[in-house]
């Protein structure tokens, strides 16, 4: 298993894995499959060019993704977000997810980010438990944040502080 940043040259593999994620777990992502299907490889290449995104590779194949976005501006540049994390079912439990998160946290530390945030769907309890194991704490909830096939799902807001003097927030 290897982890590296994704670039525009990874657009086709990224698109295929993203479509797989939206098909397998539609309630875990804000993007709808029909919208994702309308995007071209060029759209995905542009998306990969915009941020620091990571891929997990096994045997040369892309098997996991993590999108990372740092905020900009004097009041919010201490924050970054982890989004659209997905690892193929056959590669779950292999450390791929942890390695992707570690790569994002390393980048955050290198660039002076003080906290990394994410949202996880209430329909993804294994993902929620994973993030807790990775040191994230739940700090809030957006009720009915997603509506998938007429069913509402809350989104849990989670944070991991990277500042050495900060303690983890209390669960909200």
> What is d(CA 57, CA 79) in angstroms, rounded to the nearest whole number?
27
Residue 21, pLDDT > 90, answer yes
pLDDT in tens, 120-149: 999 999 999 999 999 999 999 999 999 999
Residue 94 φ then ψ, to 5°: -100, -5
Residue spans per domain, the chain: 2-161
Cα dist. 99→79, 103, 104, 109 in Å?
20, 6, 9, 15
Domain boundaries 2-161, corresponding CATH code: 3.40.630.30
User: 152 near 56, Cβ under 8 Å?
Assistant: no
User: 66 near 48, Cβ under 8 Å?
Assistant: no
């Amino acid at each position: 298993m290897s982890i590296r940043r994704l670039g525009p040259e990874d657009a086709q593999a990224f698109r295929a894995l993203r479509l797989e994620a939206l098909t397998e777990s539609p309630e875990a992502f804000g993007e709808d499959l029909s919208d994702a299907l309308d995007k071209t490889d060029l759209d995905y290449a542009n998306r990969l060019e915009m941020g620091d995104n990571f891929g997990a590779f096994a045997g040369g194949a892309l098997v996991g993704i993590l999108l990372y976005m740092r905020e900009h501006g004097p009041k919010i540049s201490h924050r970054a977000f982890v989004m659209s994390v997905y690892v193929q079912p056959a590669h779950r439990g292999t450390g791929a997810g942890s390695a992707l998160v570690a790569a994002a946290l390393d980048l955050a530390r290198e660039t002076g980010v003080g906290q990394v945030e994410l949202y996880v769907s209430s329909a993804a309890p294994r993902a929620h438990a994973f993030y807790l194991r990775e040191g994230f704490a739940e700090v809030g909830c957006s009720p009915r944040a997603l509506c998938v096939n007429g069913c509402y799902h809350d989104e849990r807001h989670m944070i991991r502080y990277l500042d050495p003097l900060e303690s983890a927030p209390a669960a909200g």
